[in-house]
Amino acid sequence: MNIEIGDRVILKDLRAREHNGKTGEVLSLPKPNAPDRYGILLEGEDNPIAIRQRHIFVIPLRKNTEIRRLTVADGHITVSYGFDPASGVFLAVTDKRLHYDPTASPRVNAVTEQTGTVKDGGGSYVDLHTSVKGFGLKVDDQTMATYLKRYGASPEEVAKLPLNLPRSWTY
Domain containing 99 equals: 68-159
Long-range CB pairs of 142-148 (<8 Å, 24+ gap) are 142/166, 142/169, 144/89, 144/91, 145/169, 145/171, 147/91, 148/81, 148/89, 148/91
The C-alpha atoms of residue 103 and residue 98 are separated, in whole angstroms, by 13
For residues 86 and 51, membership in a common domain is answered with no
The C-alpha atoms of residue 91 and residue 77 are separated, in whole angstroms, by 13
For residues 80 and 153, membership in a common domain is answered with yes
Query: Is residue 86 pLDDT above 70, yes or no?
Result: yes
Mean pLDDT of 30-51: 85
Task: Characterise 71 by phi-psi region: left (phi > 0), alpha (psi -120 to 50), beta (else).
Answer: beta
Mean pLDDT of 117-144: 80
Query: Is residue 92 pLDDT above 70, yes or no?
Result: yes
For residues 49 and 88, membership in a common domain is answered with no
For residues 19 and 84, membership in a common domain is answered with no
pLDDT of residue 18: 80
pLDDT of residue 1: 62
Grade residue 63 by pLDDT with cuts at 50, 70 and 90.
very low
For residues 40 and 94, membership in a common domain is answered with no
For residues 112 and 88, membership in a common domain is answered with yes
For residues 76 and 41, membership in a common domain is answered with no
Grade residue 143 by pLDDT with cuts at 50, 70 and 90.
very high
Average of per-residue pLDDT values in the chain:
82
- pTM for the structure as a whole: 0.60
pLDDT of residue 117: 60
For residues 103 and 142, membership in a common domain is answered with yes
Domain boundary among 37, 58, 79: 58
